[in-house]
Chains A and B, each alone.
Chain A
Amino acid sequence: METTREIVRLRVNGDLREAGIPPHFTLLETLRYGLGLTGSKQGCDKGDCGACTVIVDGQPTLACITPAWEAEGREVVTVEGLATPDGPHPLQDEFDLNGAAQCGFCTPGILCSAAALLERDPEPDREAIREALSGNLCRCTGYAKIYDAVEAAARRLQAQVGT
C-alpha cells in the first residue's frame, strides 16, 4: 500500500526545487526527506518545540505544521540558506564563538527565528530577543549564551551597514 506521491514545487534558498511527496507531507518532511535539506530538525512533530523553524516570506514559520503545498509560490529559507559564498552568516559565526550551540539540535530553528528578528529589528534589546526566541525550546544552554550570540551578531551586522 505504498503511499501515492505528488509533485510539489518550492523555492528554497533561492533554488526552484521539485519533490515527489505524499499529499499529507509537511514542509519539514518535504525539506528533510524530499529535498535532502536535513538542517531543519524535527523535535516534536506538532509545533511545540521550534526546532523545525524556517523563514517563509520573511516570517519565522513552523515547518512541521505547515503543509508543503502552502509554501508553494513563497520564498523559503532554511539554515542551509543563511550562509553566503563569503562565509557563514554572522549569527552562525557568533553562535560558534559564544558557545550558543551545545548539542546543536535546536540551533537551526533558533538561527532562523533570530535571522528573521534581525531583518525586522536590526538592534533588538535583550527583551526583544527573548520574545523572538520564545517559540524555540533549547534544552542545553539556559539561553544565556544564545542572547550573547544574537547581540554580537547584531553589532556585526550594524557595523557592516555602517561601513
Chain B
Amino acid sequence: MKSDKYLNDTRLIGKPQRKIEGLAKSTGRSVYTDDLTFPGMLHGKILRSPHAHARIVSIDTSRAAALEAVHGVITGGDMPVTDGIVPCTPDENPLCLDRVRYIGDGVAAVAAVDEDTALAALELIDVEYEELPAFFDPHDAADADGSTPYIHDPKKEGRNGNVTKVVHLEFGEVDEGLESADVVVEGDYFFEGTTHAPIEPHCAIGQWDGAGGLTVWSATQVPHYLHRELARVLGLEQARVRVLQPLVGGAFGGKSEPFDLEFCVAKLAMVTGRPVKILYTREEVFYAHRGRHPFHMRYRTGADRHGRLTSVDAKILLDGGAYASFGLVTTYYSGQLLCAPYAMPAYRFDSTRVYTNKPACGPKRGHGSVQPRFAFEVQIDKLAERVGLDPIEFRRRNFIGSNTRTVNELRVTSNGFLECLESVERASEWSRKFRQLPFGRGVGVAGSTYISGTNYPIYPNEMPQSAVQMQIDRSGRVAVFSGASEIGQGCDSVVAYIAAEELGVPLEWVRVLRGDTDFTPVDLGAYSSRVTFMLGNAAIDAATKLRKLVQKAVGQAWDVPPGEVLLAGGQALWAPDTSRQMPIAEAFNLAEAAFGTLGATGWYNTPKDVHGEYRGGTIGASPAYSFTAHVAEVEVDVETGVVEVQKIWVAHDCGRALNPVLVEGQMEGSAYMGFGEALMEEHVVKDADHGRAGLHNAPSLLDYRIPTSLDTPALESLIVESIDPEGPYGAKEAGEGPLHPSIPAIANAIHDAIGVRMDRLPFSAPHVWRAVEAAREAGSLSKPAAPSSAPARRARPAAAEAVSAD
C-alpha cells in the first residue's frame, strides 16, 4: 500500500473522534468537585452582606462559635492580605475587612458538621454596619465629587476613587478621517450585563495536613493562578500548596479567578484540621458574577462613498461593579480587539471603567469585545445602508487581508474572513432574502475576530505559557501529564489526539493525567481561547521528541534512515514499502532498549515581538486571530414586540478543525449563548425605583432566563480552515470568536424585517415593542429600501453628513 493512503486512513487529526472522557460523562462516572466527600468532612457557609455599601463597625462571632457541632468561624481579619487576579490591581479580600461594597459581599464563614448547622451558625453572627450612600449608576459613579465616600480609596489624592481604569488610545488621523468622510454615522448603544450561568455552581474543598501542606479541590478554570493566590494570601510556601481540578461543569469565564469560597475552605481546613467543603447556592453564583460588563457606548464611524471606512471614534463607559477583577484587561479589550477583520485607517477609543456597588464584572466568553462588536457591526450596517451597498459587499470591501498589521499594530497571520462571509451568504441564500422578505421577516449579517490566546501572561514572566510531559512504555501506552483546564471544551482529548497522531498508537492507548498542580507542568488556564493553540503546540513538541527516538531505534533495526520510518495506526512502517511493519509496542521496546526510559517535556511560548510599541500595545496581541461571520434570520411580531430567531448560520475560521465535532460544538454553543444575550438575558441589579437597591433582579435560573431547547434557533455550523502557519496543524481558536456576531446579526436582521434599529440590549419584547411604537409614530415602520445595485453616486458633500442614530 502507498504510505500516503495508509496515513490518510489512520490519521486522527481532522476527523470526528470521541472525547476521552465522553463515556464517563454520559454514564455518570465522571467526578466533579461536589461529587467528592472525605472522612470527617465539614460543610462551610459564608455570611454575606445585606447592604450595598457599608462600614463594618463590629463583628461578634462568639455565639456562632459556641454552637454545638460548629468547628470553625473566620472573618476578614483571619486573611488580611489583599488579593485580585491582575497583580497590579489587587483590591479585594477573601472576606471583607472593614467595608462591604455590594449586597452579597462575604464577611464571615463557618464550618460545621453539616449544612443545617452551618446555616444556623450564620444566624448567630452579629455584625454591626454603618450604611453608606451607594452608587448604582455608572454615570453617577464617574461624576462623583467625594462628598460621599468613594467605593475604593483613590490611588492618588484628589482623584475619583470610583474610576478603576481609563484607556485612551489613538491611531492615525481620526478627526481628519471623520471630516473627509462622505458619510458619518453616529450612534449610542447600550449593552446590558449578562452572566455565565454554568450549570455547575462553584464548589471547593480544602484539606490541611497539619504540617504546612494545603490541598484544595476546586471547580476553577485557572488552577495555576489559584495555586499562586492561595499561597500568597494564606502565607504558605507555593511548593506546599496543591490545587486539584476535578472536571468542571461549565465556566465560560465565570470561574477564571479565585473566589471567596476557595480561600475560606482553605482557611477553615487550617483552623479545624478537617476537610471543609463549600458549595455555592445558585443565588450565590449570581452574586459572585464576574460576568459581562454593561457598556454604554458612543460610536462615530466614517466611510467614503465607495464604502471604505475612513475613521472610527469610540467612547465607552464600563460599569465594573464592586471590584477590579480583570477590569484592567476588559477596559483595553473594549477597544483593542475591534481593528479586524476590517481595515480602518484611523481609530480612537476612550474607555473608562468605574466601580459601582453591584456584583463585580469580569470576563465572559468574548471578554470585553462582544459589547463593542455589537455596536460596531450595527454601525457598519447603517453605513452600508447610507452608501447604498449590500452589507456583505460593504464588509468585503473593507477586508483587512491576511499577513498584515491592524491600525493598532497587532499582527494578523492567517485570515479566512472572506470565506466565512461567502459561506454564510451562500448557505443562507442571502441574495434572495436581504430586503426581499415580506415585512416582519428579515436577515442580518455581522462579522468579527478574536484572539487565540494572549501573548502575555497575567503576571509578567518569560516562562512557557503551556507545557506537557509525555511518556511511553513497553505496553504501547502513552501517558500525558497536562496542566490544561478541561471545562467541557475538549482540551484533554486534544492532547490525546495529538499524542496518538504523532506516536502512531490507537487513541484508547493514551492516558491523560490532568488537573493536579503537583504532577502536571504549568498551563495558565482555560481563558482567552488560548488552550488548543498553546497546549496543542506543546503536545506536538513533546510527542515529536519521542517520535524521533522511536524512528531512530526502528531505523537502526531495519537499517533504514529514521526519516523513512512512519508511526501510524498502531504500527511502525517503512515508508517506501508499508508492508514492512512492526507493532508499535515492539517499536517502543526497541527505543527503550536503545535510549532508556522514554519521556519528554514539550512546551510553547508566545511570540513577544508582534505588538505595538505603545503603553497597552501588548494587550490584544495574540499569536493568531480567528474570524467569524453570521447571518441571522428573524421574524418580528410588531404587535407584541416578540422577535423569533429562526436560524443562525455560523461560519468560523478556526485555522484547522482538529476534531470537527468539537469545533462545531463550540460554534453552536457560542451562537446559542450570543442568541441568549441578544433576546433574553439581563443581569440587572435593582435601583431604588424597582425595589431594594442593590438586590439582584433575578438570581435564579427561572428568572434569569437562559434559552431552553424551545427558545434556541436552528444553528448551522460552517467550518472554514485557513491553516495558520503557527497553530498546531494550523489550528486557531473556536471557543469564543463565534459568539460575537450573533448579537449584531440579529439586530441587523430586525432592521431588515421592520426598519427599526435596536441599539440597546436585550431585544426583549418590551424593548422591541417600545421601539416599534416610536417608529410607528415617526412613520418609519416599514421595510427598508433595497441597496442600489451600484455604489451611491452622489456629489461629495462639502462637510461630512452626520446621521444621528435611528
A residues apposed to B, CB below 8 Å = 1-3, 22, 32-33, 37-46, 48-49, 51, 78-80, 82-83, 88, 91-93, 95-108, 111, 129-131, 133-146
B488–A104 CB distance below 8 A:
yes
Given the contacts A43-B199, A45-B282, A2 and B69 also touching, CB distance less than 8 Å: yes
Give the complex CA separation of A163 and B509 in angstroms.
34
Partner among B26, B113, B196, B708 whose Cβ is within 8 Å of the Cβ of A107: B26
B488–A133 CB distance below 8 A:
no
B26–A1 CB distance below 8 A:
no
A96–B19 CB distance below 8 A:
yes
Give the complex CA separation of A3 and B67 in angstroms.
13
Give the complex CA separation of A33 and B25 in angstroms.
19
B68 contacts partner chain A, Cβ-Cβ < 8 Å: yes
A83–B27 CB distance below 8 A:
yes
Contacts of A144 in B (CB 8 A): 668, 714-715
B27–A46 CB distance below 8 A:
no
A105–B35 CB distance below 8 A:
no
B671–A96 CB distance below 8 A:
no
Contacts of B114 in A (CB 8 A): 2-3, 22
Given the contacts A38-B35, A80-B27, A104 and B661 also touching, CB distance less than 8 Å: no
B247 contacts partner chain A, Cβ-Cβ < 8 Å: yes
Contacts of B464 in A (CB 8 A): none
B665–A43 CB distance below 8 A:
no
A141–B700 CB distance below 8 A:
no
Closest to B706 in A: A137
Give the complex CA separation of A83 and B665 in angstroms.
25
Closest to B661 in A: A99
B201 contacts partner chain A, Cβ-Cβ < 8 Å: yes
Say how far A99's CB is from chain B's closest CB, in angstroms. 4
Say how far A156's CB is from chain B's closest CB, in angstroms. 14
Contacts of B196 in A (CB 8 A): 139
B117 contacts partner chain A, Cβ-Cβ < 8 Å: yes
A44–B250 CB distance below 8 A:
no
Partner among A48, A131, A133, A134 whose Cβ is within 8 Å of the Cβ of B701: A48
A1–B120 CB distance below 8 A:
yes
B613 contacts partner chain A, Cβ-Cβ < 8 Å: no
Closest to B279 in A: A42
Interface 1/0 per residue, B653-695 and A, CB below 8 Å: 0000000011011001111110000000000000000000000
B199–A137 CB distance below 8 A:
yes
A93–B710 CB distance below 8 A:
no
Partner among A38, A99, A129, A145 whose Cβ is within 8 Å of the Cβ of B31: A38
A103–B661 CB distance below 8 A:
no
Contacts of B67 in A (CB 8 A): 1
Given the contacts A99-B19, A103-B248, A142 and B712 also touching, CB distance less than 8 Å: yes
Which B342-380 residues have C-beta < 8 A from chain A? Answer: none
Number of A-B contacts (CB under 8 A): 186
B197 contacts partner chain A, Cβ-Cβ < 8 Å: yes
B709–A105 CB distance below 8 A:
no
Closest to A36 in B: B37
Given the contacts A1-B117, A41-B200, A140 and B282 also touching, CB distance less than 8 Å: no
Closest to A130 in B: B709
B200–A103 CB distance below 8 A:
yes
Given the contacts A2-B113, A42-B201, A104 and B249 also touching, CB distance less than 8 Å: yes
Interface 1/0 per residue, B519-555 and A, CB below 8 Å: 0000000000000000000000000000000000000
Partner among B113, B250, B664, B709 whose Cβ is within 8 Å of the Cβ of A139: B250
B34 contacts partner chain A, Cβ-Cβ < 8 Å: yes
B458 contacts partner chain A, Cβ-Cβ < 8 Å: no
Give the complex CA separation of A97 and B31 in angstroms.
20
Partner among B198, B706, B712 whose Cβ is within 8 Å of the Cβ of A105: B198
Partner among A22, A104, A108, A142 whose Cβ is within 8 Å of the Cβ of B668: A142
B475 contacts partner chain A, Cβ-Cβ < 8 Å: no
Given the contacts A42-B34, A48-B702, A145-B664, A139 and B117 also touching, CB distance less than 8 Å: no
Contacts of B201 in A (CB 8 A): 42-43
B27–A82 CB distance below 8 A:
yes
Say how far A47's CB is from chain B's closest CB, in angstroms. 8
Contacts of B25 in A (CB 8 A): 95-96, 101, 104, 107
B487 contacts partner chain A, Cβ-Cβ < 8 Å: yes
Contacts of A140 in B (CB 8 A): 250, 488, 665, 669
Contacts of B251 in A (CB 8 A): 103
B668–A92 CB distance below 8 A:
no
A130–B710 CB distance below 8 A:
yes
Interface 1/0 per residue, B16-38 and A, CB below 8 Å: 10110111011111111011010
Supply 12 A–B pairs (Cβ within 8 Å), ascending by A. A43-B249, A46-B700, A49-B701, A88-B23, A96-B22, A96-B26, A103-B247, A130-B710, A135-B708, A139-B706, A142-B671, A142-B715
Give the complex CA separation of A135 and B710 in angstroms.
9
A143–B672 CB distance below 8 A:
yes
Partner among A44, A95, A129 whose Cβ is within 8 Å of the Cβ of B282: A44
Give the complex CA separation of A98 and B672 in angstroms.
18
Which B95-145 residues have C-beta < 8 A from chain A? Answer: 113-114, 116-117, 120
Contacts of A99 in B (CB 8 A): 19, 661-662, 664-665
B452 contacts partner chain A, Cβ-Cβ < 8 Å: no
Partner among A131, A133, A141 whose Cβ is within 8 Å of the Cβ of B669: A141
Contacts of B16 in A (CB 8 A): 97
A137–B27 CB distance below 8 A:
no
B199–A80 CB distance below 8 A:
no
Contacts of B120 in A (CB 8 A): 1
A138–B199 CB distance below 8 A:
yes
B22–A101 CB distance below 8 A:
yes
Give the complex CA separation of A146 and B665 in angstroms.
10
Partner among A82, A97, A103 whose Cβ is within 8 Å of the Cβ of B199: A103
B238 contacts partner chain A, Cβ-Cβ < 8 Å: no
Contacts of A103 in B (CB 8 A): 198-200, 247-251, 487-488
